[in-house]
A and B are shown apart, each in its own frame.
Chain A
Amino acid sequence: MSTTLGAPAAISTPSVIALPPRRRGYWAGVARQLLRDPLTLITAVVLLVVIVAAVFAPWIAPADPYKASMLRRLQPIGTPGFPLGTDELGRDMLTRLIYGGRLSLLMGVLPVLFAFGIGTSVGLFAGYVGGRINMLIMRTLDVFYAFPSVLLAVAVAGALGPGMSNSLIALTLVFVPQVVRVAESVTTQVRKLDYVDAARMSGAGVFSIIRTHVLGNVLGPVFVYATGLISVSMILGSGLSFLGLGVKPPEPEWGLMLNTLRSAIYVNPWIAALPGVMIFITSMGFNLLADGVRSAMDLRR
Chain B
Amino acid sequence: MLGYLFKRLLYTLPIALGVTLVSFTLVYLAPGDPLNAIAPADAPADVIEALKVAYGLDRPMPVRYGLWLVRAVQGDLGASISTGRAVASEVMAAVSNTLVLASVAAAAGVLIGCVLGALAGYNAGSWLDRLASALSVVGVSIPHYWLGLVLTIVFSVKLGWLPAMGAGPGGSGEWLWDGEHLRYLLLPAATLSVIPMGIITRTVRALVADTVNQEFVVALRARGLSRVAVFQHVARNAAPTVLAVTGLQVGYLMGGSILVETVFAWPGTGFLLNTAIFQRDIPLLQGTILVLCMFFVALNLLVDILQPLVDPRMGRA
Contacts and interface: CB of A to CB of B under 8 A. Distances in A.
Q: Which of A156, A158, A279 has the most CB of B within 10 A?
A: A158
B262 interface: yes
Given A146-B18, A262-B149, A239 B259 contact: yes
Contact of B31 (A149, A161, A243, A277): A161
A99 B140 CA distance: 25
A265 B151 CA distance: 11
A21 interface: no
Interface in B29-44: 29-31
B163 to A, nearest CB: 13
A173 B153 CA distance: 34
A151 B18 CA distance: 16
A265 B152 contact: yes
Contacts of B255: 148-151
A286 B140 CA distance: 11
Contact of B140 (A143, A276, A287): A287
Interface of A is mostly: helix
B134 to A, nearest CB: 10
Interface residues of B, number: 51
Contacts of A284: 137-138, 141-142
B106 interface: no
Contacts of B153: 265, 269-270, 272-273
Contacts of A266: 157
B101 to A, nearest CB: 14
Nearest to A149: B255
B265 to A, nearest CB: 11
Interface string A161-204: 10000000000000000000000000000000000000000000
Contacts of B150: 273, 276
A102 to B, nearest CB: 18
A147 interface: yes
Contacts of A258: 145-146, 149
Contacts of B152: 265
Interface size classification for chain A: 35 or more
Contacts of A154: 258, 273, 277
Contacts, number: 135
A288 B150 CA distance: 23
Interface string B116-139: 000000000000000000000110
B179 to A, nearest CB: 26
Interface in B17-62: 18-19, 21-23, 26-31
A62 to B, nearest CB: 25
A239 B145 contact: yes
Interface string A121-151: 0000000000000000001101110111111
Contact of B258 (A144, A150, A270): A150
Contacts of B78: none
B144 to A, nearest CB: 8
Given A151-B289, A159-B30, A161-B31, A231 B157 contact: no
A283 B141 contact: yes
A156 B258 contact: no
B29 A288 contact: no
Given A140-B18, A146-B15, A287 B141 contact: yes
A143 B289 contact: no
A116 interface: no
B274 interface: yes
B273 A269 contact: no
A147 B293 contact: yes
A280 interface: yes
Contacts of B27: 159
Nearest to A142: B15
Contacts of A286: 141
A160 B29 contact: yes
Contacts of A255: 143
A147 B263 CA distance: 22
A127 B19 CA distance: 24
A293 interface: no
19 contacts: A146-B297, A147-B22, A148-B252, A151-B254, A154-B277, A159-B26, A159-B285, A160-B29, A161-B31, A243-B262, A244-B278, A245-B277, A269-B153, A272-B153, A273-B153, A284-B138, A287-B137, A288-B137, A291-B137
Interface of B: 14-16, 18-19, 21-23, 26-31, 137-138, 140-147, 149-150, 152-153, 157-158, 251-252, 254-256, 258-259, 262-263, 273-274, 276-278, 285, 289, 292-293, 296-297, 300
